[in-house]
Every structure is written in C-alpha cells, then in structure tokens.
Chain A
Amino acid sequence: MQTFGILILSGLTNGSVYALVGLSLAMTYGASRVINFAQGEFVMLGALSTVLFVTTFSLPMVVGIPMVLIVCATVGFLVERLAYRPLVRRGSQPLTIMIGTLACASIMTGTALLIWGPNQLFVPNAFSLEGVTIAGITSTPQQLAIIATFAFLMALIWFMLYRTTFGLTIRAVGIDPAVATLMGIRAETIIAFSFVFSAIVGGLTGGLVGPLLGGHVSMGIMLTIKGFMAVILGGMGSPFAAAAGGIAIGLLEATVAFYGNSFYAEPIIFGLILMMLIIRPTGLLGEWEANRK
C-alpha cells in the first residue's frame, strides 16, 4: 500500500511536469495552430533565470520568481511578435512556422549559453528539499508544490476559459479565427496572449522543477518532446486534454518502471502511445478537435 502511494505520487510529480509543458503547448496550439518547438526552452529559461535572480543577484524568492515570470513573458511576447507573426503574415506553411519556432529555440539556447555557460547549475529552491512523511509516504515540499501548482493552474485556466468573457473570446478564436474576427474579436491579440501565457507557465515550471532537475542550457528540447507526448496522448484539442495526457504518461512511467522492466521502460511507453494513437487517432480526449477539422 505504501509502495503504491509512492508510485502514485511519483507519477503525479513527473506527470505534472509533462502536463505543465503539454498544457502550455496546447494553449498556443489552440489559438495559433502551431506546435511551438521553443516551449521547453521556457522551462530552461525559468530555471536558469531563477539562478540569475536568486543566486547571482541574491534577491529573495518572492521577488525573484515574479522577475523570472516577467522575463519569460517578455520572451514569449517577442517570439510571437518577431517570429510567429511575420511568418504567418507572409503566408508560410505550417512546417515553416514550426521551423521558425525551432529557430527561436536555438536563439534562446544560444543566448542562455552566453549568460549561464554550458555547465549544469544548481537552481535555488523555493520550498524545502528535505523529506516530509505524510501517511507513511515521504515526499518533499518542493515536489508537492509542483503538483499543487499544476492543480492550481488547471483551476485557473478552467475559470479563465469558461467563466470569463475573455475566455469566451479565446475559445472563439480557437474554433475559427476568421469568424471570431467578424464578431469583433482581435484574434491577433488572443494569439499573442496565448504565447505569453504559455511562456509564463513554462517559466513557472522551470522555477519549480529546476531544483530537482538542475538547470542546463540544453534541457529544453527533451522537455518539449515530453510535452509533445502529453499533448498527443491526451489530444491537442484543449489544455485539459493535454494535461490529462501528461498525468497519464507520468503514472504510466512509474507503473512500467516498477512492475515492468525499467531498462525497456522508455521504448515501452513510446510504443504504448503509438498504439493508443492508432486505436484512437486523435488522442484519448481529442474527438472534439477531430470533428472540427
């Protein structure tokens, strides 16, 4: 029983990270129909700018983290304004836009390399890294904070999308930007918002997992791929589907590693996702999107 609890908690922790990357990918995709290859780089930026503000500038955490989020929001804004928008205006093909975001990833990595250098860095922790035992299961406050942040963001996004007028406009743009524009919605603003919002989520994720994963300039790409997996398993239709996909992968990883074979756990999970896609071609929860196409 205790073991089972540890597995669930571990799955939720890893899953929350994938879900956070996945839901930010889905937010951008929902508004812009672009898979943002630079999404994982925001996690990197979040982790490393925490090092900058908290370790290098010795700012307290409560000041440092908002600064990190401002940095990420700014970069997210720039990606939309300097890469996405010019590319769309020139009628680029979707793949070309994707390569545009890949170029952004390269720019971010390249800049981070100049600022932080190539070594793996310790990212200061906002919460304690010492173990706490609750009901026989040991975890750390930092780890629990990741899960809590994810849950909070889910609630926030739900509220924003379904309980505010602004959320209604986001969903309208997600369904058809041309019609939304006719309704007087500024589609471009919504798309810009989705980039900035995703960047903030990425930055927050980085600040939270940094103390556990360590900060490294090249950590982004693998996280982007984990986010892809979450989005694909859940479905690209909505941030909630993507988040569900992320959690599912986290739990799957923990279970396969524990009950199955940890040596082949990774290819097994890729295989399961591939099989799931073949059975349900638009993700577990993706019907909604498929019907729209």
Chain B
Amino acid sequence: MRHFGKLVMVGMAAASLAVATGSASAADDIVLGYVDDLSALVAEAGNDSLKGVKLAVSEANATGGVGGKKIRLVVYDGKVDTQLTSTYISRAIEDDGAVAVFGGNVSGAIPSAMTIVNEEKVPFFSMSAATDSFTNPVTPYFFRFGPSNSQDAAAVAQLISEAGLKKVAIINNSLPFGLDGSKAITAALKEKGVDVVINEVYEVNSTDVSPQVVKVRDAKPEAVVVWPYPADGGRVLRTMAQLNLNVPTVIARVALFDAFRELAGKAADGVLVPNTVDTERPEVKAMLDKLTAEFGQRPPTMYIAMGYDGAKAAIQALQDSKVQAALKSDDLPAARVALRDALESIGTFSSLQGAAGNTLKFSSQSHQGLHGNNIFVWAQVQDGKLKKADPKSFAPKN
C-alpha cells in the first residue's frame, strides 16, 4: 500500500510536469489575458468585469476579429493572492503571449502586478481597484478604467455639500477597500468645508455593528457615508434603522450587488449609490441586454461596464496600423509597445460609463481613463431594486 502510494505520487508529479511544460498556444490568435479574483472575496466584481470583457471580445470576433485575427481570452483566477496574481500575469504574458492583460479588481494585488507589466512592457487594463497612487504618478503600461478613490470621494463630497449638509459621519469596514475609501472621502469633504464628525471602523465579520453605529448616532451627523462590502453594508444599514439613525445616507458601489440589497431589506430604501452605469442610456441598455442573453441576469454594476469599456478600447487600439504591422510580423514586444502608444493617443473614446456622451481619455500624462464631472450617475435603492436617482433627493428626511 505504502509503495503503491509512492508510485501514485511519482506518477502525479511526472504527469504534472508534463502538463506544466506542454502549454502550446495557437499563434494565429491575438491573445488577451484576464487575471483577477474569480472565486474569493472580490469574485463578484472580478466575474462581472470578465463578463464585460468577454462580451466585447465575442462581438469583435463575430465580425471577423481584428485584422483578420480572432481574439482569444486566457483567464486565470488569482483569488485575492498577490503572489498568485503576479505569477499568473507573468504567465499570461510569457506562456500565452498576451498582447495585453486585464484585471485589477483586487487593490492589494495591484502594486506587484504593476511592477511586472511595466517591466515586461505589456499594457495592463485595470478595473475597479481605486487606490489613487496606482495612476498618480503615471507608470508607462498601467491604465485604469474604473473611478479612483478620489473621484468617488469627490462625487460623494459634492453631493453632500450641494445638499447643504455640514456634519458627516463615515463608517467603513477594516478591509483595504473601506480604509482607503474613508481616507479619500475625509480628504474630499475637508476640501468642501464639510466636517467629518466621526469616522468609525468595524471588522467585516462582526455579526453586530451597533457599538460603532451608536457612536455615529451620538455624534449627530446630518448625513452618513458607508464604505462596506455587500453583506456588512446590509448589517450597518439595518442597525442604523434599528437605532433610529435616519439621515441621508450614501453607500459605496458594492451596494449594486444583490446580496447587499437582500440583506439590508427595507433599511436600504432611499440610500444613494455612486454608480458609473446609467441604465437609461440606450447603448448601455443594449449592452446589458446582450449580456443578460449571454450570461444571465446581472445587476447593472460598474464592473461590467469597466470590463466592456476596457475591452472595447483594447480592440480599437489593436486596429492601429503600427500594432497591426507588429502583429503581422509576429513581433509581440513591438505590438505591446504599439498598443500602449495607440491607447495613449486614442484621444477620446466613447464610454458606457458615466452620463450620456462621457468619454475615456488617455494620454502620456494621464492613465486614468475616467475624468471630469460626468463619471457618476447616482443610483438609488428602492424596494430592493436599483433605480436612477435624482441627487436632489439627497436631503434630510423630516
């Protein structure tokens, strides 16, 4: 038995070596890599962006691909593991010959991913990871398609200051998303002359968050900003309702996910969510309908739109003559550099994020695609559903 076991192990080891070394790639395709969390805590965002990318790629392939070549997507699940994500990115670049890599919903994994793509000179299309320093200062090959923390924060601050509210409380979880978000919002509110009366932090696995909410309530804020993950966001809002903390509330983009609205129940009614997806725009509607047909019903999250925007931009940049020339002569490194240049000189690129007519703009000075005041479209939760909100509804309830 023992010897049999050893034999099995040796066999497995040998077989795995064979698998590891035998990864062939079809040279006729244009390869795009996608490395993101597809199974752990940020998986819902990761999978949404992937669906957006897939949709854009299948649209392009349906019309014959780019320059006669089909686009092939190679997908790796980096989980929320920094090391794994970086290694998969490097694998997508080398083994699969990806001309560009998508990913970046996990902020923790970005810094070392950034080093790799800049060193290997491969454009990276980053999604929702919002830490400002990722695109400021600009690094040569890193491009972001989602809003940055400071953009999120600026929008929240503007909403609050336009409503004439002067005292705000922030409550957030202690994951990087919550900590970074609250920091950015505090800074943005300060700029608008709004007072942050209290900033409370809770741990994402706390079944009861009432100590923090009591403190928030006792600070008597005129508005509350919640920066959670979906499930704990539900708990915070429920607790706020229980403790009669009934003031205008803004909650981070995670509230777009179903789990948040189901967990929060009626407590979520009326809260505002900064979204970049305007479901009333016809082209957005068309894209979401196609997505539903292909992958089933999804809430209209910004993650989908980011993936779609990113892939569309990649496809447009791939059509650039220099990129095409490099691809024709099978010069992958040159194609990547050319793709980057094409992306920087793409000028304005019509985006499915933001208000109608919003564009993505990249240049050698800015790799933050979204810009200006048109990025956010406020969504409001009503009876467990999302609808487009009127920011003017953000006012004290009597």
* Whether chain A touches chain B in the assembled complex (some CB pair under 8 Å): yes
Is A129 an interface position by the 8 A CB rule?
yes
Is B210 an interface position by the 8 A CB rule?
yes
Q: Please report which residues of chain A, range 254-282, place their CB below 8 angstroms from some CB of chain B when the two chains form the complex.
A: 254-255, 257-258, 262-263, 265-266
Taking a contact as CB atoms under 8 Å apart, the answer to whether A120 and B211 are in contact is no
Q: How large is the interface on A (under 10, 10 to 19, 20 to 34, 35 or more residues)?
A: 35 or more
Taking a contact as CB atoms under 8 Å apart, the answer to whether B210 and A214 are in contact is no
Interface of A is mostly: helix
Q: Lowest 6 A-B CB distances belong to which pairs?
A: A214-B231, A118-B43, A122-B262, A120-B259, A131-B242, A13-B208
Taking a contact as CB atoms under 8 Å apart, the answer to whether B257 and A120 are in contact is yes
Is A143 an interface position by the 8 A CB rule?
yes
Q: Which residue of A lies closest to B215 (CB)?
A: A258
Is A212 an interface position by the 8 A CB rule?
yes
Q: Give every chain A residue within 8 A of B43 (Cβ-Cβ).
A: 118-119
Q: Give every chain A residue within 8 A of B202 (Cβ-Cβ).
A: 257, 262
Known A138-B243, A258-B214; contact A119-B44, beta-carbon cutoff 8 A: yes
Binds A, one of B34-42, B61-69, B133-141, B365-373: B34-42
Taking a contact as CB atoms under 8 Å apart, the answer to whether A262 and B205 are in contact is no
Taking a contact as CB atoms under 8 Å apart, the answer to whether A10 and B208 are in contact is yes
Is A9 an interface position by the 8 A CB rule?
yes
CA distance A57 to B107 in the complex (A): 37
CA distance A253 to B209 in the complex (A): 10
B139 CB, min distance to chain A CBs, angstroms: 30
A13 CB, min distance to chain B CBs, angstroms: 4
Q: Give every chain B residue within 8 A of A129 (Cβ-Cβ).
A: 238, 265
Which of A129, A219, A223 has its CB near the most chain B CB atoms (within 10 A)? A129
Which of B174, B234, B258, B263 has its CB near the most chain A CB atoms (within 10 A)? B263
Q: Please report which residues of chain A, range 58-113, place their CB below 8 angstroms from some CB of chain B when the two chains form the complex.
A: 113
B271 CB, min distance to chain A CBs, angstroms: 17
Known A7-B211, A138-B243; contact A216-B201, beta-carbon cutoff 8 A: no
CA distance A222 to B212 in the complex (A): 21
Q: Give every chain B residue within 8 A of A255 (Cβ-Cβ).
A: 211
Taking a contact as CB atoms under 8 Å apart, the answer to whether A122 and B207 are in contact is no
Is B241 an interface position by the 8 A CB rule?
yes
Taking a contact as CB atoms under 8 Å apart, the answer to whether B41 and A216 are in contact is yes
Taking a contact as CB atoms under 8 Å apart, the answer to whether B242 and A140 are in contact is yes
Q: Which residue of B lies closest to A16 (CB)?
A: B207
CA distance A119 to B40 in the complex (A): 9
